[in-house]
Structure 1
Amino acid sequence: MAALRGVSRTACSLPLQQLARPAYATCSRRSASTQAAEPASSSALLDLETESTLAAPQLSPEEKKEFRPWKRAADRKLPLPGSRYQYHPPKYDRGPLHPIQSPATSDPIARDFVPGPFHLPRLRQTHQSTISSDLMTLTYNHVPSGTPEVESSERLRSWDDSSPYHLNRPKRAPRGAPVLPLRERNITFRNIPEIKEVTIAAYSPEAQRDPSHLVVARSVILALTGSLPEITTTNTSVVQWSVVKGKRAGVKTTIYANDAYEFLDRLIHMVFPRIKDWKGVKATTGDGSGNLAFGLGPQEVAMFPEVEVNYDMFPTRMIPGCRIFVKTTATSDRQARLLLQCMGVPFYGKMK
């Protein structure tokens, strides 16, 4: 306390001008207000570059010849340490708890990285901008608040617990239905149906006697899809049609993503309008899980622009028909038909 009192007495004895003087006035401090009026050529700005790096002089031909980084890498006796200059993602996925995780598929260093997409098909762009919102509007189901939830019927058969072995036993499949179809879900912004893949298959039973039919069928499907088809064989023998089991008699291929949308775009807008006396696709088609199928004859296959532009290259009588299987992300055939109907596929008959 005595020391503090002494300090206060000393401060009171100083003149007022010394008390108003700032303590940091003796240090050299540069601020915007004090240096604004100084010219640009002051000593404080000498550390800045006067010229841009874009105006740097170019290398001379002699310097370019001496600059050979690949030769320096080839002459290096020891490789660079892999931990610092090289990175190899793991080959195997050892689970989510492993300390070393594989990078995402979108990462360029990933082993399964696929560059692209480099373009957006017109039909896919229409699906994202127009069809998606239309599907949610057409299938909107308003449920007032407070409405009790309707219990769905039991799909699997439970045990009657007549035996102690029935405890904790999985339920049984329903009678007469070994494979259960998908249960239809309401369309929301989280599960809008879209095209997943398209499979095109051609069957030529004449190929068992003349292999040229198989060559033509494979060339036609390759021209339509841009994917090399695989050769299929017959599963059963039919004596009336001279079909022998195990013989090569067809081709098929599957296209995905943008290729599937481009194929459907050509099919809907270039082939379907040119078919005469054609009702459309039957409305009852489907496998119960959102996958539809329809067929085209040899005359309709010849209407594709890829075949029509080189029509003389294919023998007319050897051009096969094809079966088209459209696999969607819909959970029912009704939603899949509604998706293709919005894209422009005509259906006839009673919709279920």
Structure 2
Amino acid sequence: MVNNPLSDLTESLEAQARALGFCAFGIASAEEDADRAARLDSWLAEGMHGSMEWMADRAHHRRSPQGLWPEARRVIALGMSYAPAADPLRLADVPEVGRISVYSQGADYHDVVKKALKHLARWLVEEARKRGLGDIGVKVFTDTAPVMEKPLAAAAGLGWQGKHTNVVSREHGSWLFLGEIYTTLDLPLSTPGRDRCGSCRACQDACPTAAFPEPYRLDARRCVSYLTIEHKGAIPEEFRTALGNRIYGCDDCLAVCPWNKFADMAHTIKAFLPRAELTVPELADLLTLDDAGFRKLFSGSPIKRIGRDRFVRNCLYAAGNSGALALLDTVETLRGDPDPAVADAADWAVGQLRKG
């Protein structure tokens, strides 16, 4: 039997990817999928992307990999595990501390994943040349480009998009950072992931703000992660109490997924392990952060990108929900903050604390 050089290359590519820390690997077509594109169009038409204008502005690129890069033939989809050792919901009833999403307690995944992707892409280009396949094209992406990462990961067999719309893996649960390499090589396709959610609706029931109008559909405008990270200005009052002590992101729909019981900490990249100061952060300390203090605390963290004002705004909502009168004096001082959203959040928090 004659070996297929592209199949042999794919096997070696997967081995190299795993050596670089990727625990999930698959190949999807770069061609447009009509159903996937239609779902994107419908979601955008309903305004469920909120103020994330870049989702609509580059929808023509997002619809398919070839819409972004016409020469692309395949998408190499990859995943890195950030499975946590501790229960992400353990601080739900500790109101004096802020809850920071698991993914942002360690190093910035953009940097870690992108570095490994570039290394793997360089290896692929060199290896293809060595094997007589000529000069090939590659492009790497993780999160910041107009790429439909989750549907592509599912198409490549990394898992399936669960009812919470995130990728669920039989081996890694809901804890995967995704990255992609677009290539001009016609690598053999992987078998797409099969939906295994069944009748489970744990993620839907766990959402504190009812952000899922139906299974497999997320209204970002109601999502705690969107509200605390992407939303600028004051957060609508209808959601403030539901935020609880979540100050950056939300893990609730991910954390309750039953498939997480198979996630193995042995696959978690060390860079993603939580920094001690971010595991149980006291609101009393976070509320006093100025811009310099914020930048120092969150250096190398994805949290840094939202800036001090938005972060302190979030902490003030958490303070208002805490019932901790010991925070009242600190909150009072922020009523005169130069940032209108911070001042507004401080006014609200004072009212909540005094009511309690």
TM-score bucket of the superposed structures, by smaller chain: under 0.3
TM-score (normalised: structure 1)? 0.17
Greater Cα radius of gyration, structure 1 or 2: 1
Task: Judging by fraction of residues, say which structure has more helix.
Answer: 2
- Higher relative contact order, chain-length normalized (CA < 8 Å, sep 6+): 2
